[in-house]
């Protein structure tokens, strides 16, 4: 005799959505400059906007852009760090 019982199960659902996007056309030199820039940004790669700059870096690398060992990779000064949360206030300077 067949028997059926109603229950619930957990199931991973993948959804395809249409989202706004941007197409950017760059010269090879512009792409190398952007690759060098986004490749030198620090911060948390999971909860800060760095997850996006890492995505740009790897997309450019996938398109054949590499700055490894090239002078452009050594032409930057200073650094940029993504914060996990926006700054709530800025120091006030008095002159």
Domain boundaries, the chain: 28-76
pTM (2 d.p.): 0.71
Which tokens hold the place of 12? 């991973």
pLDDT at 79: 87
Dihedral, CA of residue 87, residue 34, residue 45 and residue 81, to nearest 10:
-30
Q: Identify the band that residue 64 occupies on the pLDDT scale cut at 50, 70 and 90.
A: very high
- Residues of the chain by 3-state class (helix, strand, coil), percent to 5: 30, 5, 65
What would the mean pLDDT of 8-14 be, rounded to a whole number? 90
Whole-Å CA distances, 25 to 22, 28, 29, 64 = 10, 10, 12, 14
């Amino acid at each position: 005799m067949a028997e059926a019982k109603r229950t619930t199960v957990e199931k991973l659902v993948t959804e395809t959505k249409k989202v706004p996007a941007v197409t950017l056309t760059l010269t090879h030199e512009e792409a190398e400059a952007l690759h060098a820039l986004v490749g030198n940004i620090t911060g948390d790669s999971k909860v800060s906007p760095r997850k996006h700059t890492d995505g740009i870096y790897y997309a450019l690398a996938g398109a054949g852009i590499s700055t490894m060992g090239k002078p452009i990779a050594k032409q930057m000064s200073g650094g940029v760090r993504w914060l996990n949360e926006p700054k709530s206030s800025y120091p006030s300077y008095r002159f």
